[in-house]
Amino acid sequence: MKRAVFPGSFDPITLGHKDIVERGATIFDEVIVGIGNNSEKNYMFSLDQREQFVEECFRDNPKVRVMVYDGLTIDFCKSVGADYLLRGVRNHGDFEFEKAIARTNRELSKIETVFLLTSIQTSFISSSIVREIIRNNGDYKRFVPGCVRV
């Protein structure tokens, strides 16, 4: 079975994330959306809310599973039997950042990272931009799946 982990904080999940997961599910037998839990980070949405948003978003896709994890992503991948990391790349800056992480992960483990380019319709969306729109009472709904509610 080809199993991939799509890791992130998903604070909140965006249409870009959703697109990468759905496209990844056409490549892999299973995609685990791994919601990283970092107690040092100050999230806009609680861990329970983020998990609920993501689960609701993919509830009709049997190839997608949602799990929360602590620690290194490569350790989480080992624990769930995933040989691949799935990552979305929006631009050159994302690629350089993700490339460094992928090389480090490959040095520490045998995990392969698979990059998918974001669709042109979602390439400008980021969780940090969505959080800023929400903080300023803007119309965030066009950038997130319907499962995200403030």
Q: Which of 63, 65, 78, 90 is catalytic?
A: 90
Active-site annotation holds for 123: no
Q: Which helix H or strand E contains 103, and what residues bound it?
A: helix 92-108
Selection from 20, 25, 33 nearest residue 80 by Cα: 33
Q: Which of 39, 41, 92, 128 is catalytic?
A: 41
Q: Which of 17, 18, 50, 87 is catalytic?
A: 17
d(CA 76, CA 79): 5
Active-site annotation holds for 41: yes
Active-site annotation holds for 90: yes
Selection from 98, 132, 140, 139 nearest residue 116 by Cα: 98
Catalytic residue set: 17, 41, 90, 127
